Amino acid sequence: AQSVTQLDSQVPVFEEAPVELRCNYSSSVSVYLFWYVQYPNQGLQLLLKYLSGSTLVKGINGFEAEFNKSQTSFHLRKPSVHISDTAEYFCAVSDSGGYQKVTFGTGTKLQVIP
């Protein structure tokens, strides 16, 4: 079984400032890692994913994340945020070895302050 921890429930940041949203996972097997964004009253949209290969993954809207196996982390970063980035962000993990069930973290609400 896997688990995901997002320690920060809310992250306020000023517009054009950098941001890092933290995600740590626990698993006894190899995993795939995902970041999803959820805008108010909408479903989830995939930002980026790590399946294998390069540990630095670039996604949409200028976001990137780095897979760190030794620290079991997959932190999400953006060098300069915009007002439109205000949303809920979910880190997720699935078992890479077989049937895909995705386990989500509790989410981090990113609030961009003008």
Partner 1 sequence: GAVVSQHPSRVICKSGTSVKIECRSLDFQATTMFWYRQFPKQSLMLMATSNEGSKATYEQGVEKDKFLINHASLTLSTLTVTSAHPEDSSFYICSAPPGGTLMGDTQYFGPGTRLTVL
**Which residue ranges make up the site for partner 1 (CB under 8 A)?**
9, 32, 36, 41-46, 49, 51, 90, 94-96, 98-107
Nearer to partner 1, 50 or 78 (CB): 50
Token pair for residue 59? 């996604």
CB of 107 to partner 1, least distance (A): 6
Nearer to partner 1, 5 or 15 (CB): 5
Nearer to partner 1, 85 or 88 (CB): 88
Q: Which residues of 30-45 are buried (b: 16+ CB within 10 A; e: fewer)?
A: ebbbbbbbeeeeeebe
CB of 1 to partner 1, least distance (A): 11
CB of 91 to partner 1, least distance (A): 9
Is 89:36 a contact under the CB 8 Å cutoff?
yes
Is 82:25 a contact under the CB 8 Å cutoff?
no
CB of 80 to partner 1, least distance (A): 26
**What is the C-alpha separation between 10 and 65, in angstroms, rounded?**
18
**What is the C-alpha separation between 21 and 33, in angstroms, rounded?**
14
